[in-house]
Amino acid sequence: MTKKLIIIDANSVIHRAFHALPPLATKNGEKTNAVYGFLLVLFRAIKDFQPDFIAAAFDLPKPTFRHLEFKEYKGKRPPTPEDLSNQIPKVKEVLRVFNIPVFEKEGYEADDIIATLTDKSKEVAKIILTGDQDSLQLIDDRTNIYFLRKGVKDTVLYDEKLVEEKYQGLKTPQIVDFKALRGDPSDNIPGVRGIGEKTAIELLLAFGSLESLYQEIEAGSKKAEKLSPRVKELLIKHKEDAFLSKKLTQLKNDAPLDFDLGDCHWSGYDKEKAKKLLASFEFFSLIPRLPGSTKEEKPKENKKLTLF
């Protein structure tokens, strides 16, 4: 049986939990809803996938290489609420108690950390926990995305086939080119202004990639002549934005991390410490749901979640 590594997009899961759950707080007023939601996702993933390895990736507050490349990157996002940012150290405390290593690097986003961990773990199957579609580009025959669609309970397991269905025929490697053309408002990535989802998909189905599309246009090929004048004009006018957008969208898999898969081996944790921590957050309902270690529990067959 193929061994499995769960990679947690921690900031994404924390944000999703914070906005999905009511503002839970302890008796002394500490906000804990994001921590609670994070634990719900973690416990469910451990139960569903019975991982051999677990790792968590975090963003750091300092600018990344994308901000240096494009000052307006993520420029329209509101500031992170203090009640959310105050819960990030608590989630890291949870991960320490559960013996789950944390990976983060100045200048890189959590998505780049995830891409790097994925690339460095070719020998195992990967399941990435996230509420961010940027990681869809990492899907291959040994990497799936456990995606939080809505809240922390509505999830879908993306594989290559489901990506193709979602993007009407596009393959996983074309997701980056799709965003280069379409743009990404959530990250303030411009794309080619005036090109929508439908046109971006049609262009990539016809030309294969962003590079091939522009090569055909510049060569004045018969294929390029079939483009509508408006679409061709937009592509030519915003060529620089298209390639900048691809650079911003493409995840880097070479973050300088001190990584050894063996350090991510999930062999269990101190349940008494975990109970004490959950009690300090007043998560008494979660204590009976604490997962056992991978050595203590036998994997349960789940046909809906059979991987690889």
pLDDT tier, 149 (very low <50, low <70, confident <90, very high otherwise): confident
Neighbours of 123 (CB within 10 A): 10
Q: Helix, strand or coil for residue 177?
A: helix
Quick check: 62 pLDDT over 90? Answer: no
Look at residue 294 and tell me whether its pLDDT is greater than 70: no
Domain definitions of the chain by residue range:
4-166+252-299, 172-249
CB-facing half-sphere around the CA of 248: CA atoms within 13 A: 29
Tell me the residue type at 70: F
Query: Which amino acid is residue 117, in one-letter code?
Result: L
Domain 172-249 has CATH 1.10.150.20: yes
Average pLDDT over every residue of 115-143: 96
Question: φ and ψ at 169, to 5 degrees?
Answer: 110, -10
Name the more confident of 305 and 182.
182
Cα angle, residue 131 at apex, residues 127 and 134 outer, rounded to 5° = 80
pLDDT value of residue 111:
96
Measured in whole angstroms, the distance separating CA 247 from the mean position of its chain's CA atoms is 17
Q: What angle do CA 77, 79, 83 make, to 5 degrees?
A: 130
Walk across the sheet containing 4-9 and list its strands.
102-103, 53-57, 4-9, 125-130, 143-150, 154-158
Can you identify the CATH homologous superfamily of domain 4-166+252-299? 5'-nuclease (3.40.50.1010)
- Going by C-alpha positions, the residue among 265, 259, 308 that lies closest to residue 117 is 259
- Rounded CA separation 201/87 (Å): 39
The model's pLDDT over 66-119, given as tens digits with 9 standing for 90+, comes to 999 999 888 888 888 999 999 999 999 999 999 999 999 999 999 999 999 999
Q: How far apart are CA 173 and CA 28, in angstroms?
A: 49
Task: Give the model's pLDDT for residue 152.
Answer: 79
